[in-house]
């Protein structure tokens, strides 16, 4: 059953164009120039209940604009959106109680008060019973390991701790649909992993439908089987990660550690050299030839260790964007 259905979604912004300086300001008093910017350009997709989908693209691709349309924060210029049977832009109370939109660079916590104060306020806003509030809060606190920080003023928490509290505040009403816009932005690698683990556990436990945007490919690889790639407002790819790699990166990387020095030209015959810095060598080879080439290397070279890997997903995405821009 599709929880999110998007058909031919388009969002156009009209932007005022002002010439620089005092002369430009004077001219604007008598006539203004406007430009139409198509942030989202006729996109369509559907997401099933319980799916966790990576929604990725460069800055200005249309990711956040799409999520804002799906949550009802923006009115679409064209197309049809259906989320949980609702038209998001109508912003009905029943709809808002079933979704959550978490933006990594935005906050809802009261800076000078402990997180618990915000949690209690959200309890009243969403009309949660005491029993449900205590149960859901307890589950979330356990998942995020925050029991010792609920009464500490927000301004004294680290960025990672505040982000955890932001998630709790957004999830107290157990939303069926969760939009996560750069949830790990600005966090160190340890905290990024902890938040990824939480998102995965939350998805499994509550069967929530989740759309995740992130510039960190590690987030997408760890959490999403399916990815939707968007650029310049248009969808370039919609499918699973494995298909993405097979379609856009039909090669593998062979990494080997040498026991002794070997001339570079001997490896040039086997594949494209990505790295050559003794004792490590990295070769880029066609996928269907990787096992044969690996066997040849083991047979003819002094190898201490050898590993075959799929193409790095971040490099694959970069190549897709570059090919489109050429």
Sequence-separated (6 or more) residues with CB below 8 Å from residue 151: 114, 116
How many domains is the chain partitioned into structurally? 2
**pLDDT at residue 324 in the model:** 62
Residue 26 domain flag: no
Q: What is the spatial distance between Cα 261 and Cα 183, in angstroms, rounded to a whole number?
A: 45
Q: Does 126 share its domain with 60?
A: yes
Sequence-separated (6 or more) residues with CB below 8 Å from residue 219: 54, 183, 184, 192, 196, 212
Domain boundary among 223, 245, 267: 245
Q: Does 235 share its domain with 264?
A: no
Q: What is the mean pLDDT of the chain?
A: 87
Look-up: residue for tokens 């490919």?
217
Residue 114 domain flag: yes
304: domain range? 250-310
Q: Does 240 share its domain with 257?
A: no
* pLDDT tens-digit readout, 137-193: 998 998 888 888 899 999 999 888 888 898 899 999 999 999 998 888 777 788 888
pLDDT of residue 195 exceeding 60, the answer is yes
Q: Does 72 share its domain with 153?
A: yes
Tokens matching residue 310? 């799929």
Residue 97 domain flag: yes
Q: What percent of the chain has pLDDT over 90?
A: 45
Residue 18 domain flag: no
**pLDDT at residue 251 in the model:** 82
How many other CB atoms are found less than 10 A from the CB of residue 186? 12
**pLDDT at residue 24 in the model:** 67
Asked whether the whole model's pTM tops 0.85, one would answer no
Q: Does 106 share its domain with 160?
A: yes
Q: Does 115 share its domain with 52?
A: yes
CATH number of the CATH domain containing 266:
3.30.70.1150
pLDDT of residue 41 exceeding 70, the answer is yes
Q: Does 263 share its domain with 133?
A: no
Look-up: residue for tokens 């990594």?
104
Q: Does 235 share its domain with 161?
A: yes
Q: Does 201 share its domain with 277?
A: no
Q: What share of the chain is helix, strand, coil (3-state, %, to 5)?
A: 40, 30, 30
Tokens matching residue 248? 């856009």
Give the SS3 label for residue 110. Answer: coil
Domain boundary among 245, 260, 292: 245
Find the helix packing angle between 313-325 and 241-248, rounded to 10°.
Answer: 60
Residue 322 domain flag: no
* pLDDT tens-digit readout, 236-272: 889 987 777 777 777 888 998 999 898 898 888 898 9
CB 306 within 8 A of CB 283: no
Lowest mean pLDDT among 9-23, 115-129, 311-325: 311-325
Q: Does 133 share its domain with 233?
A: yes
Give the SS3 label for residue 56. Answer: strand
Residue 315 domain flag: no
Q: What is the spatial distance between Cα 109 and Cα 118, in angstroms, rounded to a whole number?
A: 6
Q: Does 172 share its domain with 282?
A: no
Residue 17 domain flag: no
Domain boundary among 227, 245, 263: 245
Question: In which band, very low, low, confident or very high, does the pLDDT at 122 lie, cut at 50, 70 and 90?
Answer: very high
pLDDT of residue 326 exceeding 60, the answer is no
Q: Does 125 share its domain with 254?
A: no
CATH number of the CATH domain containing 156:
3.40.50.300
Residue 196 domain flag: yes
């Amino acid at each position: 059953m599709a929880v999110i259905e998007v058909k031919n979604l388009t969002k156009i912004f009209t932007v005022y164009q002002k010439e620089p300086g005092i002369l430009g300001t004077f001219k604007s008093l008598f006539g203004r120039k406007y430009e139409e910017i198509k942030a989202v350009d006729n996109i369509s997709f559907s997401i099933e209940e319980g799916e966790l989908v990576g929604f990725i693209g460069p800055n200005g691709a249309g990711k956040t604009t799409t999520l804002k349309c799906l949550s009802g924060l923006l009115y679409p210029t064209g197309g049809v959106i259906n989320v949980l049977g609702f038209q998001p832009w109508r912003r009905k109370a029943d709809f808002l109680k079933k979704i959550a939109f978490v933006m990594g660079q935005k906050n809802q916590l009261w800076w000078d008060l402990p997180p618990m104060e915000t949690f209690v306020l959200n309890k009243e806003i969403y009309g949660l019973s005491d029993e449900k509030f205590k149960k859901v809060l307890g589950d979330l606190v356990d998942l995020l390991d925050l029991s010792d920080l609920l009464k500490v003023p927000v301004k004294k928490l680290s960025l990672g701790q505040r982000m955890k509290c932001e998630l709790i505040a957004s999830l107290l009403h157990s939303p069926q649909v969760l939009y996560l816009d750069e949830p790990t932005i600005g966090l160190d690698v340890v905290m990024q992993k902890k938040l990824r683990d939480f998102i995965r556990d939350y998805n499994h436990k509550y069967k929530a439908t989740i759309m995740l945007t992130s510039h960190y490919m590690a987030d997408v690889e760890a959490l999403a089987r399916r990815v939707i790639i968007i650029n310049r407002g248009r969808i370039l790819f919609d499918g699973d990660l494995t298909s993405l790699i097979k379609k856009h990166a039909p090669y593998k990387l062979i990494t080997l550690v040498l026991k002794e020095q070997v001339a570079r030209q001997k490896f040039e015959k086997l594949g494209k050299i990505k790295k050559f810095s003794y004792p490590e060598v990295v070769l880029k080879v066609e996928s269907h030839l990787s096992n044969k080439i690996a066997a040849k290397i083991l047979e003819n070279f002094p190898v201490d260790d050898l590993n075959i890997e799929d193409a790095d997903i971040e490099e694959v995405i970069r190549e897709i964007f570059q090919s489109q821009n050429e």
